[in-house]
A and B are shown apart, each in its own frame.
Chain A
């Protein structure tokens, strides 16, 4: 692993700094000198390496030296053939991955609980989704993972599909049997793409669910900034080499910036090094913290911090670093607990949905912080918990009726209607709670009364509902 100790982009930037180059290029803040307040706030160090691409620093759109080297080391660390540093977030990585694999009119098989970025890519490319039921845990009220059988059926019924798209894991930590699914997809000449936005750690920890590259996927979008320690918005797209690097890069450059941030890129380089060198011990600790918290929380009754215990038809494996806690059983919606934790206890968790909260446990946590979360949850139960859970929404997954492709619906002639009057129309817009950013409605889907009720209930409970042209999500664009 000695090569993984090296961070070529970091070295290049250090050298660049020591050369004391006089900049007559962008950015105009000129290493911070032109914007003192910004430089005081973020630090001189930081601004001094917020620089433009140049010969010694390579160019993200066309990497030939240090970025290429850093990407190659990342590819090796992730057991891939090549990797692409992404500075427009994992959303861009997911879109680039899908657009590399399918074009207008091509079918792509995916679970309905994908991130909006996957459906965004369909709006842009014109590819057609074939949705597979991800399964629902009725008690928890969350979508799970696709079963192999359901996926096999979808593949058999759509032999012309070009690709299969998988979440590994879902936001909540649910994993499908991706190895079997990928093998079957390959046997039917379909590409296998993975959204591993929440799965960086799977590549480096022990006793974790299988990561996509090891399972034979053709590409995977890995959000290093989520659980890998890099800066927000930095991400990596991995390829096993089925598609040519040149083709993938061309797709990335279609919508990607030509001013790739060196702060983001060097954070990927340094994080990759840290993960490759220290990943095992880092995630051993993360797992033990998450396991401890689950044990304590489950000990008092009321809450249900779920993990391996929900394995079943739609849950092949579970990512135990995710601390997902079912709160409905103490009479509170997840979003209510989420708000109480922040407003009353100064604790920010990742998200709260209608029945659960999710706390991300990562390399930056210690036993002291975990203890605060555990204690606060105990207090929330004692002080705010209710016996009566009857007013809570009993959520059922409703298979969407796809009446038009996302692209056709998005660009169709539209009518602007109050949400309550939109029943039976075809939506031309997204509606989602954020986080998690999984669409409740996607363009091209029929609006049902259940969906309208769900949106109203989520807003009432305080979820951030968004996606429509109308910021308040009281009106919606439908196909005229």
Chain B
């Protein structure tokens, strides 16, 4: 007998992973959560049937969503993380001794509970004393803050379901307001390849551009996400992620990473021509 997990990447494309066994399945108020064990990707978990993180490739995503802004401004001290229930983003942030305070806002407590039980690879730093977890709607939390954060990381699901509010103009406006004058906003920015993801990406980019002086997009290769080609948004009131990169400062921190390095930092902002075209289109 063979057991396969299949994710529908588009109406006409499927992605499958052979599964050893299903470890967990449950429903929260917001979504369905499943945990599987596989030969190829180790443990992985899904929300509403979409892969969020696998043991084998989560390092790519978490490296890129954290180290790019941190190497651009190594003085970041106060961080707001929205989503990120698996804890991977917080784990990477906690490696910086300069960071003093991390607020993590996750709407779904069950995601955190499940990851703490089955996914300690990512959830390992959630008990760090600098980390403050709030279980509520990120949209609500952020609109109560003003000029408070050096960095906001939006580590959300796709813009349908509970993550929808985190791709809206009101949310980005509130993020702008919650950041101080040196503030940086990084968000998972969907994929440019399949049309549905690409249109989400374009909308998000246009909306962020309306608020921030600097608004860039960078990429990484994430094998288990649709098309494998994934983008991140970098927006800031002050810093340019390429010309302001402080490579020496970051290297002197001696943080070992498997995907991120300061060369790939620069390189990741060089985008394929068709992606530039999508981003420039109105």
Contacts and interface: CB of A to CB of B under 8 A. Distances in A.
B173 A382 contact: yes
Nearest to A383: B173
Query: Chain A contact residues (Cβ within 8 angstroms of B): what range?
Result: 10 to 19
Contacts of A372: 139, 165, 168, 170
B244 to A, nearest CB: 27
A379 B165 contact: no
A371 B165 CA distance: 8
A325 to B, nearest CB: 15
B140 interface: yes
Contacts of B174: 375, 378-379
A391 interface: no
B171 interface: yes
A382 B171 contact: no
A346 B137 contact: no
Contacts of B170: 345, 372, 375-376, 378-379
A345 B170 CA distance: 7
B177 A375 contact: no
By secondary structure, the B interface counts as helix
Contacts of B177: 382
A164 B169 CA distance: 48
Given A378-B174, A379-B174, A371 B137 contact: yes
Given A379-B174, A382-B177, A383-B173, A368 B168 contact: no
A368 B173 contact: no
B83 to A, nearest CB: 14
B109 interface: no
B74 interface: no
Interface of A: 344-346, 367-368, 371-372, 374-376, 378-379, 382-383
A371 B140 contact: yes
Contacts of A345: 168-170
Interface in B113-162: 137, 139-140, 143, 162
Contacts of A374: 140, 143
Contacts of B143: 374-375, 378
Interface residues of B, number: 14
A372 B163 CA distance: 12
A367 B139 CA distance: 11
B169 A368 contact: no
A345 B210 CA distance: 13
Question: Which secondary structure dominates chain A's binding surface?
Answer: helix
Nearest to A300: B143
Nearest to A377: B170
Contact of B140 (A344, A375, A376, A382): A375
A378 B140 CA distance: 11
Nearest to A299: B144
Which of A371, A374, A378 counts the most B-chain CB atoms under 10 A from its CB? A371
Contacts of B173: 379, 382-383
A368 B162 contact: yes
Given A368-B162, A368-B164, A379 B137 contact: no
Contacts of A346: 168-169
Contacts of A383: 173
Nearest to B168: A372
Contacts of B139: 368, 371-372, 375
Contacts of B171: 375
B202 to A, nearest CB: 14
Contacts of B137: 367-368, 371
B169 A379 contact: yes
Max chain B Cβ within 10 angstroms of own Cβ: one of A372, A378, A383: A372
Output the residue of A344, A346, A379, A382 with the most chain B CB within 10 A. Answer: A379
Nearest to A367: B137
Listed from nearest, the 10 A-B pairs whose CB atoms lie closest are A375-B170, A376-B170, A379-B173, A379-B170, A371-B139, A375-B143, A371-B137, A371-B140, A375-B139, A372-B165
Contacts of A379: 169-170, 173-174
Given A371-B140, A375-B174, A378-B143, A344 B169 contact: yes
15 contacts: A344-B169, A368-B137, A368-B139, A368-B164, A371-B139, A371-B140, A371-B165, A372-B170, A375-B140, A375-B170, A376-B169, A378-B143, A379-B169, A379-B173, A382-B173
A201 B171 CA distance: 32
Nearest to B162: A368
A371 B142 CA distance: 11
Contacts of A378: 143, 170, 174
A376 B169 CA distance: 8
A377 to B, nearest CB: 8
A226 to B, nearest CB: 25
A383 B211 CA distance: 11
Contacts of B168: 345-346, 372, 375-376
Contacts of A376: 168-170
B109 to A, nearest CB: 15
A234 B165 CA distance: 32
Contacts of A368: 137, 139, 162, 164-165
Given A375-B143, A378-B170, A382-B173, 16 more contacts: A344-B169, A345-B168, A345-B170, A346-B168, A368-B137, A368-B165, A371-B140, A372-B139, A372-B165, A372-B168, A375-B139, A375-B140, A375-B168, A376-B169, A378-B174, A379-B173
